[in-house]
Structure formats: structure tokens, C-alpha cells
Chain A
């Protein structure tokens, strides 16, 4: 193995920290962490969030094609293959609906919970504790839940 002092200090992960800062600023500046923006979206009263998510999906599709055809490789020169998602009608529809309920009421999805910590510390902490409890309950029940 090649000795790399950066790896020992965990420095190779710093790029993810910087990317996290960038992503948080993008979400914040486009108002994609605002409760009102998601309320509007679910009530179909504004194009804003559809434009953001739809735009991100369309451009990502182009990137996915470039990954697939090997035009863009990862930092180590490997082919990029997105992990296949777990299949199952009930788990995706029902799990998705539970998430949508929480998202619709609180106006927060997963990444924004962490971003909102910088805006509204206490409410975001309560959301985070709830989310950890929810993930914990899922883990405990995972074998008994229908797929």
C-alpha cells in the first residue's frame, strides 16, 4: 500500500466537506430549504421547486449518460455506476408516502435538516432527533416490514 499521509488524517474526505458546504449554500440561496417553498410545491402554486428539482434531474440525466458511456470516470479512473435502488412496490410507495408526510408538514427533507441547523438550531435539532428515531425504528422493524 502506498503511504499517504492525507489518508491517515482523514483528509481525503475534506472534499466531501467542501462539497457539503457548496450544496448547503445552493439549497439556501435557491430557497430550497424554505418551508413555504415546499408548501407551494405540494399545492402546485408555484413553478420554482419543480424547476429546481426538474432541472437538476434533466441535467443529471445527461451526466448519467456520460457515466454510462465512460465519458466521465471517477477520480480513480473507475467507471461510475450508480447503485441500484432496492426494489419493492410497497416499500417505495409506502415509505415514500411516510417521508412525504413528514416533508409536507415540516418543509424539510433529509439534507435540508442539516442545513436548517444553521438557520433554526432548536427546531432542526428536534427534526433531527425525530429522524434518527425514525431510522432506528425502521432498522429494528426492517425484517418484519412488507417489501
Chain B
């Protein structure tokens, strides 16, 4: 029980993610997460606006079950499996973020400066999340995959488009954390 409640090290996480991929393929489907954004668009009637969404969402039902599992799993983890969300961060990271005005850095998974109710219901806080989401939805579909589909599935099956996409992920992520975060905080 103690192991379950402790944070898991990278050398446990890496193999368990690979096993998730293995099972996904064993069940006969291609591992990935971001196609679901399109499927949900289709369910909400996006097919009436653009032919792009004229797909039978029932073919993606398995992936929607996976998504429901992700939500349930997140709920279980948040409420029962992580009694302490403290993160063992690099002291340099803590100092940097403190200097930017972040409080209690690493005391929980999600900083209040982006995720607290107060911030989320302010215009700036709302827009930060909405625009980030927009970039995630647009970018993953344009690139043809996310961390699961490109970085893990694509790289491990030695696909060149995935290598390019992962380079793109890092270009974007570096611009965001080195330049945009200091600008907006």
C-alpha cells in the first residue's frame, strides 16, 4: 500500500506507459489521444459545418471508452491515490518560478497562478487556459498526433513525421516556458 501512495519514479512510469501502448495495440487499435478531439467535434455536429468531420464517430467508440477511463482514472488518482501532491523540483526551478511571482512552488501538481478558481474566473486566467487549449487542439490535429501518438507511438515505430513533430513540440514548449511564461506572469 505504501508503494501505491508514494510518487512513482520515472523508471516505473516509462515501462508502464509502454505496457499501456502494448495493450492498446494488442486490443487491435492504434495508440493515441488527440483524435478524440475531432470525434467529439463530430458528435457535437461539426459535420454540418465542414466535410472534414463527416466521419462515423462510432468507429472511434473504443477511443471514447478510453477517454471515459482517463476521466475516471484521474478522479480515482486525485481522490484516493495521491495523499501528498508535493513535487521534488529542482531548487533552480523553484527559485525561478518564485521570482516570477508563483507561490508555494511544487506544493501541489497545479499552480494556483493558473489553476485556482480565482484565476480561472478572471479574464486573463480564462484566456490563458482557453488559448492554450486551442493551440493544443489545433496543433495536435495539424501535426497528426500528440505525445502519445507522435512522441511514443511514432518515435518507437521510427516514423520520420513523428521526429519532426516532436522537434516542433520542443520548439513550442521552449518558446512557451522560456519567453511566454515570463511575459504573462
Contact = CB atoms under 8 A, between A and B. Distances in A.
A26 to B, nearest CB: 4
Interface of B: 4, 7-18, 20-31, 33-34, 36-38, 40-41, 44, 46, 49-50, 52-53, 61-63, 65-79, 81-82, 85, 87, 89-90, 92-93, 96-97, 105-106, 109-111, 114-115, 117, 120, 126, 128-162, 164-178, 180-181, 184
Contacts of A91: 142-144
A91 B169 CA distance: 12
Given A21-B70, A28-B73, 6 more contacts: A13-B61, A23-B69, A85-B165, A105-B184, A114-B67, A132-B37
Contact of B132 (A13, A18, A26, A105): A105
B127 to A, nearest CB: 9
B12 A103 contact: no
Nearest to A127: B133
B135 A28 contact: no
Interface residues of A, number: 115
Contact of B71 (A67, A72, A115): A115
A74 B106 contact: no
A80 B121 CA distance: 46
A129 B14 contact: no
A95 to B, nearest CB: 3
A30 B164 contact: no
Contacts of B142: 91, 94-95, 98-99, 138, 145
B129 A126 contact: yes
Contacts of A74: 25-28
Interface string A97-129: 111111111111111011111111011001111
A134 B67 contact: no
A136 B138 CA distance: 8
Contacts of B17: 23, 26-27, 52-53, 55-56
Contacts of A87: 160-161
A107 B77 CA distance: 18
A20 B73 contact: yes
Interface in A58-99: 58-61, 63-64, 67, 72, 74-76, 78, 80, 82-89, 91-99
Per DSSP, chain A at the interface is helix
Given A19-B24, A46-B90, A131 B137 contact: yes
Contact of B117 (A99, A118, A122): A122
A101 B74 contact: no
Nearest to A54: B14
A117 B23 CA distance: 24
A112 to B, nearest CB: 8
B117 to A, nearest CB: 7
A118 B76 contact: yes
B72 A19 contact: no
Contact of B27 (A16, A27, A42, A96): A16
Contacts of A134: 37, 133-139, 141
